[in-house]
């Protein structure tokens, strides 16, 4: 059973459990997808029914942000902890490398996915990169053909939220892959163009704050975080 945080159900899993489930889904017939919502995406889902539908229909929903963990705690239904999407992806690639599985990288500005591919091949020897495509395409058809023809087992879909969640809902099957994972800005990090917050910020749950310092134009988006906590507190009161 999922833990409800303002209408979005989260799987109450540790990182190890999430990775084990990812590996299981990757080896199962059919197409599956994983979403990694943070508070901003939860707030988006409250206003966008298609985004909510895409998140609800996912095979696994992991709590990417510390804010979601706080929200669940405020609501009195705590989660085991956060499972950052980027670390989930890294662990999954480690497992894929062991079994020679192939990965397609979809998203980010032109050239970024290729740079990420080069770095990932070095970091995870044995990982097969089936192909790449940037995230600024107009039509899905040619991209789907490219992914299907590549024979990829897994696709990292990095188109930003909620575009990537909707894309996976509508196109997951047509990729021919067994597992798709929505990972926001991860390709920018894997390519080396964007640095993750230093560990001290990560440990304190302040990665969002570091990203804000680096990129103050995110302030508009960030305002969804306090709003999310206010909504969680309001929901808790109304449940009493």
What does the alpha-carbon distance between residue 218 and residue 213 come to, in Å, rounded to a whole number? 9
Q: Applying CB under 6 A, which of residues 109, 123, 170, 214 lies at the interface with ligand UDP?
A: 109
- Binding mask 115-154 toward ligand UDP (x if CB under 6 A, else -) reads --------------------xx------------------
Q: Classify residue 169 as exposed, middle or buried by CB count within 10 Å of its CB (0-12, 13-18, 19+).
A: buried
Q: How far is the CB of 100 from ligand UDP (least distance, A)?
A: 27
Neighbours of 94 (CB within 10 A): 14
Sketch the per residue contact string, 156 through 195, with ligand UDP: x for CB under 6 A, - otherwise.
Answer: --xxxx-x--------------------xx-xx-------
Q: How many CA atoms lie within 13 A of 174 on its CB side?
A: 12
The answer to whether the CB of 43 falls within 8 A of the CB of 228 is yes
Cβ atoms 131, 147 nearer than 8 A: yes
Phi and psi angles of residue 20, each rounded to the nearest 5 degrees, phi first:
-60, -40
Nearest residue (CB) to ligand UDP, 27 versus 215? 215
Q: What number of chain residues touch ligand UDP (CB under 6 A)?
A: 14
Contact 110, 137 (CB under 8 A): no
71 touching ligand UDP, by CB under 6 A: no
Of the candidate residues 66, 108, 120, 155, the single one contacting ligand UDP (CB under 6 A): 108
In the bound state, the residue with its beta carbon closest to ligand UDP is 135
CB atoms within 10 A of CB 176: 18
Interface residue list for ligand UDP (CB under 6 A): 107-109, 135-136, 158-161, 163, 184-185, 187-188
């Amino acid at each position: 059973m999922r833990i409800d945080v303002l209408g979005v159900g989260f799987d109450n899993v540790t990182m190890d459990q999430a990775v084990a489930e990812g590996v299981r889904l990757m080896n199962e017939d059919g197409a599956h997808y994983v979403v990694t919502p943070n508070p901003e995406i939860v707030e988006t889902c409250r206003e966008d029914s298609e985004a909510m539908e895409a998140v609800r229909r996912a095979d696994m929903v992991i709590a990417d942000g510390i804010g979601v963990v706080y929200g669940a705690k405020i609501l009195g239904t705590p989660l085991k902890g956060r499972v950052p999407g980027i670390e989930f992806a890294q662990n999954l690639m480690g497992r894929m490398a062991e079994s020679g599985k192939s990965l397609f990288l979809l998203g980010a500005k032109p050239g970024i996915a290729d740079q990420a591919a080069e770095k990932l091949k070095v970091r995870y020897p044995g990982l097969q990169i089936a192909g790449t495509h940037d995230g600024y395409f107009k039509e899905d058809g040619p991209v789907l053909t490219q992914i299907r023809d590549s024979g990829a087992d897994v696709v990292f879909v990095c188109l930003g939220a909620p575009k990537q969640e909707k894309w996976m809902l509508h196109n997951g099957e047509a990729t021919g892959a067994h597992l798709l994972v929505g990972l926001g800005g991860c390709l920018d990090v894997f390519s080396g163009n964007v640095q993750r917050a230093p560990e001290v910020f990560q440990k304190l749950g302040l990665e969002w704050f570091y990203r804000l310092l680096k990129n103050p134009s995110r302030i508009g988006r960030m305002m969804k975080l306090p709003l999310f906590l206010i909504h969680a507190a309001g929901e808790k009161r109304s449940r009493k």
